[in-house]
């Protein structure tokens, strides 16, 4: 017999994350503004240079802003969920982790609850950004929005778990910045969020196809705009697979965590 | 004694690499008592607690808490215990109420019951009017009180308190002591606490284990431990007035020994407050002009000094404590 009240522990951790998110206005604002700044200052800059119709074939037939928008949304969702997962380090630093570790409920329940909560807040951000982005884009498939949200949530769960898995192997805050530059930046740049992934050097292509975020970005772009680089079915399978593996990994590592 | 054991520790050892933090420790804690672990920082107190609360695996030996093996049945142990750690373990962004509510949920309590009990416990620690304020606005003492209240929410049989008053000011310490004393009567729990404050151990604990370098070097009631060091001593300064030592014997039954050294008479007594008045009366009767009277009552500090040859006070206020105190204020 392992622990008591799986659903209660699950609910407790979702409740906690949602309250914390609601209370941290500045965090919420910052996380929404940052991608919008990317979209406007980075996106509009390049979009003006790529204005001519001959460039459209590079971006799979889309104008650059419409191509970039799903990528920016996924970048935001990825950052929020991954950093949210890594924020388990703060729980360790400020002691709350011990409260969970010494409780009789299943640790997996607490972990999965936290992950559901963080992924939910990341999704809310993603939706906010999508709404700001939509007026700048052309011919977005509105019926694709709901499926895109569902896919985003699966991606988000996966990267929250990855963040937590990494955090449960770290004992201090020192490695945090290293993780941000060594893990986060490459995942974002090598996901096809900013540029199409066909016709790149071989070594880069390998990294891109090994990057879990690539499939999420490509799938969401397909659902919103109809263009894709990887077969959408394959992307869906890849996304679900990565999320399952990361969740299992984080649960396994967390079960073994000591203080 | 026939009292029920709620904690049973058998040759518990924990090594970190070559360093032995807890060395073959063996003791029992009985139902309803306040049992204290007293020792300097780094003596192995927290390591012992962490093993008993299932957060650390022993290198060897066994421990049973509430009848369950801490290694084999951690989830059962966890359900029976409440823990207040040395450093805060609350979420600062949540209110006192929300922190307790989450605790109730992860301990699997029914929601209705959680709500009623939170109010009752917040009243017990005088935090009811702060229930809806975020914990980051609380003082160190309030946080400690909230954690005590929270640890009682699921009605534990045994409460573990790791340095419950570390870094708190004297008034707050006194207040926390009061709660701890009321706890066992009003909430019917056995308390296992660690401290490096001698006064705290002496005042609160029914039995004290003195721990040093990972070993228990003495275990008894505070009274017996203090008796072990020796008698109370009364010093009477007479500035070289001639006096016959034989006339000082047998003044009353509390006096065990008398000696005269340079300008003072030294009485070893079993109870200085009872002995002093008759001693003075007797000396005045002999025509002695008493200049000054002092007495010394041995305390846990003397016990520690006698057992280890070191002063426990030297170990207080290490840099780690200082950092911790500063951090706590800053948080």
Element of type H or E holding A214: helix A212-225
Mean pLDDT calculated for residue range B151-162: 94
* Predicted local distance difference test score (pLDDT) of residue A1: 39
Name the one residue in this structure whose structure tokens are 């200085």. B272
Number of domains in chain A: 1
Is A98 within 8 Å of B85 when comparing Cβ atoms? yes
Quick one: pLDDT band at residue B320, thresholds 50, 70, 90?
low
- Cα(A84)–Cα(B214) distance, integer angstroms: 39
Count helices and strands (H / E) in chain A.
13, 0
ipTM for the complex shown: 0.85
Q: How confident is residue B49, by pLDDT bands cut at 50, 70 and 90?
A: very high
Interface test with B, best of A104, A107, A121 (most B CBs within 10 A): A104
Range of the domain at A117: 6-255
Q: Quickly name the fold that domain B5-226 has.
A: Rossmann fold (3.40.50)
The whole-number pLDDT of residue B314 equals: 54
According to the model, what pLDDT value does residue A114 have? 94
Contact list, B91 vs chain A (CB under 8 Å)? 16, 20, 94, 96
DSSP code of B3? P
CA distance B109 to chain A (A): 8
Between A94, A96, A103, which is nearest B107 by CB? Answer: A103
Instruction: Specify if A62 maps to a domain.
Output: yes
Which of A96, A100, A101, A113 has the most B C-beta neighbours within 10 Å, making it the best mutation to test the interface with B? A96
pLDDT exceeds cutoff 80 at B1: no
Name chain B contacts of A8, Cβ cutoff 8 Å: 105-106, 108
Position B327 scores a pLDDT of 55
Compute the mean pLDDT over every residue in chain B, rounded to the nearest whole number.
88
Nearest to B79 by CA among A242, A104, A217: A104
What does the domain layout of chain B look like in residue ranges? 5-226, 231-297
Q: How many CB atoms lie within 10 A of CB B311?
A: 13
A27 touches chain B (CB under 8 A): no
* B324 pLDDT higher than 80: no
Residues in chain A closer than 8 A to B331 (CB atoms): 94
Rounded to whole angstroms, how far apart are CA atoms B23 and B105?
A: 37
**Chain A CB contacts of B106 below 8 Å:** 5, 8-9, 12-13, 99-100, 103, 105, 110
pLDDT of residue B309: 73
Query: Tokens representing A37?
Result: 């700044």
Q: Distance between terminal CA atoms of chain B?
A: 46
- Is residue A91 included in any domain, yes or no? yes
CATH top-level class of B231-297: alpha beta
The pLDDT value given to residue A70:
96
- Does A1 reside within a domain? no
Q: Where residue B331 falls among pLDDT bands split at 50, 70, 90?
A: very low
Burial class (CB within 10 angstroms; exposed 0-12, middle 13-18, buried 19+) of B125:
buried
Confidence of residue B102 (pLDDT cuts 50, 70, 90): very high
Strands B34-38 and B207-212 turn out to be: parallel
| Chain B residue with the nearest C-alpha to that of A110 | B106
Low-confidence ranges of chain A (pLDDT < 50): 1
Q: What is the DSSP letter of B107?
A: T
């Amino acid at each position: 017999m392992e622990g008591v009240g799986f659903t209660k522990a699950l609910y407790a951790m979702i409740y906690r994350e949602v309250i914390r998110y609601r209370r941290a206005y500045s965090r919420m604002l910052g996380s929404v503004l940052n991608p919008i700044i990317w979209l406007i200052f980075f996106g509009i800059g390049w979009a003006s240079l790529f204005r001519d119709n001959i460039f459209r074939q590079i971006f799979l037939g889309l104008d650059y802003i419409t191509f970039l928008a799903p990528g920016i949304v996924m970048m935001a969702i990825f950052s929020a969920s991954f950093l949210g997962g890594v924020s388990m380090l703060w729980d360790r630093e400020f002691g709350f982790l011990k409260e969970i570790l010494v409780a009789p409920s299943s640790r997996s329940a607490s972990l999965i609850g936290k992950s559901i909560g963080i992924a939910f807040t990341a999704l809310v951000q993603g939706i906010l950004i999508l709404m700001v982005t939509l007026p700048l884009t052309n011919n977005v498939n509105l019926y694709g929005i709901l499926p895109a949200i569902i896919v985003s949530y699966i991606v988000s769960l996966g990267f929250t778990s990855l963040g937590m898995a990494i955090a449960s192997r770290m004992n201090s805050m020192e490695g945090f910045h290293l993780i941000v530059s060594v893990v986060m930046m490459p995942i974002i740049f090598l996901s096809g969020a900013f540029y199409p992934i066909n016709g790149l050097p071989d070594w880069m292509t390998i990294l891109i196809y090994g990057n879990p975020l690539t499939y999420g970005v490509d799938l969401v772009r397909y659902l919103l705009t109809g263009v894709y680089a990887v077969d959408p079915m394959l992307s869906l399978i890849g996304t679900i697979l990565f999320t399952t593996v990361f969740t299992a990994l984080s649960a396994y590592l967390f079960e073994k965590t000591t203080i | 004694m026939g009292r029920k054991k709620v904690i049973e520790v058998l040759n518990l050892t924990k090594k970190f690499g070559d360093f032995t933090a807890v060395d073959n420790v063996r003791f029992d804690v009985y139902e309803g008592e306040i049992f204290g672990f007293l020792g300097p920082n780094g003596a192995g107190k927290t390591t012992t607690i962490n093993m008993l609360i299932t957060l650390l695996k022993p290198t060897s030996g066994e421990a049973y808490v509430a009848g369950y093996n801490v290694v084999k049945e951690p989830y059962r142990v966890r359900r029976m215990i409440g823990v207040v750690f040395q450093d805060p373990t609350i979420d600062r962004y949540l209110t006192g109420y929300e922190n307790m509510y989450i605790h109730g949920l992860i301990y699997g309590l029914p929601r209705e019951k959680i709500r009623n009990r939170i109010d009752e416990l917040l009243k017990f620690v005088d935090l009811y009017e702060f229930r809806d304020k975020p914990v980051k606005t609380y003082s160190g003492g309030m946080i400690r009180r909230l954690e005590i209240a929270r640890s009682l929410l699921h009605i534990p049989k045994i409460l573990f308190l790791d340095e419950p008053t570390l870094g708190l000011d004297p008034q707050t310490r006194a207040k926390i002591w009061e709660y701890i004393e009321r706890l066992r009567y009003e909430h019917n729990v056995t308390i296992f606490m660690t401290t490096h404050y001698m006064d705290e151990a002496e005042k609160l604990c029914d039995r004290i284990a003195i721990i040093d370098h990972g070993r228990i070097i003495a275990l008894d009631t505070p009274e017996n431990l203090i008796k072990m060091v020796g008698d109370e001593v009364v010093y009477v300064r007479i500035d070289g007035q001639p006096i016959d030592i034989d006339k000082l014997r047998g003044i009353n039954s509390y006096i065990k020994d008398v000696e005269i050294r340079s300008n003072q008479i030294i009485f070893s007594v079993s109870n200085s407050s009872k002995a002093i008045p008759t001693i003075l009366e007797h000396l005045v009767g002999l025509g002695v002009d008493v200049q000054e009277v002092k007495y010394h009552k041995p305390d846990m500090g003397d016990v520690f000094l006698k057992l280890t040859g070191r002063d426990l006070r030297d170990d207080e206020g290490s840099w780690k404590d200082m950092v911790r105190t500063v951090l706590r204020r800053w948080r």
